[in-house]
Amino acid sequence: MSETVRLVCPVGRKHVELFSGYALVALGVVAIAVDVSHWANITLGVLLVLLGAAVAVHGHTIKTPVLEVSDGEFRYRRGDYEIGVPFSDIGSYYLLPGSIRSLGLCDRAGRPKRFPSLQSRRTSRTYLPLTGMTSPAKVESFMAMAGIPPRKRSLSS
């Protein structure tokens, strides 16, 4: 596969924090602009601006998971955590249901592949966490475009 297939998982909390942070900053500016001569408006405005800035900065630090297949390799990235698996080692995939979706990869024999933990714990896991807003249909479409079959239709017999 020479072309790149990419899926960026949406993160609802990131969008909410960014929107609410910028809204608090704007509200703080409005509170100051209403009456600049009164100390209560200035104090309230400065507090709203600081709180909004903190929430917006935290929203910018939330990392979104990215799935990518290019140059014969499957890659998963979430911030500094990156996994690369040769495309030839992947036999199938499966989606774990739940409030936070997860993607599991299987080798050609149908056994789940193990990955190091995201938080640098000593344990390993057999799945890669996505987000709750990630649609299973989008993941299935991405995997179909990448040429990876679902577990129930695995390449192994």
pLDDT tens, position by position, for the chain (157 residues)? Answer: 457 788 888 888 899 999 999 999 999 999 999 988 889 999 999 999 999 999 999 999 988 889 898 888 889 998 888 888 888 888 889 988 777 788 899 988 888 888 877 666 666 778 888 887 888 888 888 888 888 888 775 444 4
63-153 CATH:
2.30.29
Find the farthest-apart pair of alpha carbons in the chain and give their distance in angstroms, rounded: 78
pLDDT value at position 156? 46
What does pTM read for this prediction? 0.74
The burial of 117, by beta-carbon neighbours within 10 Å (0-12 exposed, 13-18 middle, 19 or more buried), is given as exposed
The burial of 51, by beta-carbon neighbours within 10 Å (0-12 exposed, 13-18 middle, 19 or more buried), is given as middle
Tell me how far apart the alpha carbons of residues 62 and 151 are, in angstroms, rounded to a whole number: 31
Determine phi and psi for 26, rounding to 5 degrees: -65, -40
Tell me how far apart the alpha carbons of residues 109 and 129 are, in angstroms, rounded to a whole number: 23
